[in-house]
Amino acid sequence: MAKPAVKAVPAVAARVDAKSPMKAEPKAVIATTAKHKIEKLLKTKKPKLVRDSFTIPKLEYLILEELKQRSGKLGNAIKKSELIRAGIKALAAMSDAGLLAALKAVPAIKTGRPAKN
């Protein structure tokens, strides 16, 4: 009967030891999750991309190609989409009068797909 009493004492000691690390664990877990959240907030999120298609007159398309080549000669190779985005930023930075003048300089075109010949 003495043996069961001896076994009970280590079990109680084991329970006390098991409780003390558990109290420390939540603090460590909280600190880890807080660091994780901060790191996640510091990372810049990848912007959602939208695919679209549009019609552009051939002359303006050639100007787009010319601007692309001109940019390459200046040491800054650029894609057409990046060039268009740069144009959008330039338009957004204009005053209302400047934007209106730029918009009036662009003639309206018939939208839709061109007819098959």
- Which range in 6-10, 31-35, 75-79 is most confidently predicted, on average pLDDT? 75-79
Residue 13 inside a domain? The answer is yes
Report the predicted TM-score, pTM, of the whole model to 2 decimal places: 0.55
Residue predicted with more confidence, 87 or 45? 87
Asked which of 32-36, 51-55, 92-96 is least confident by mean pLDDT, the reply is 32-36
Contact 57, 111 (CB under 8 A): no
pLDDT, residue 35, reads 75
Which residue range forms the structural domain that includes residue 1? 1-42
Residue 85 inside a domain? The answer is yes
- % of the chain residues with pLDDT over 90: 42
Residue 47 inside a domain? The answer is no
Residue 53 inside a domain? The answer is no
Residue 3 inside a domain? The answer is yes
Residue 112 inside a domain? The answer is no
Residue 109 inside a domain? The answer is no
Q: How many CA atoms lie within 13 A of 80 on its CB side?
A: 9
How many domains is the chain partitioned into structurally?
Answer: 2
Judgement on whether residues 63 and 37 belong to the same structural domain of the protein = no
Residue 16 predicted with pLDDT over 60: no
**pLDDT band, residue 26 (cuts 50/70/90):** low
**pLDDT band, residue 77 (cuts 50/70/90):** very high
Residue 14 predicted with pLDDT over 70: no
Hey, CA dihedral for 44, 50, 65, 84, is it positive or negative?
Answer: negative
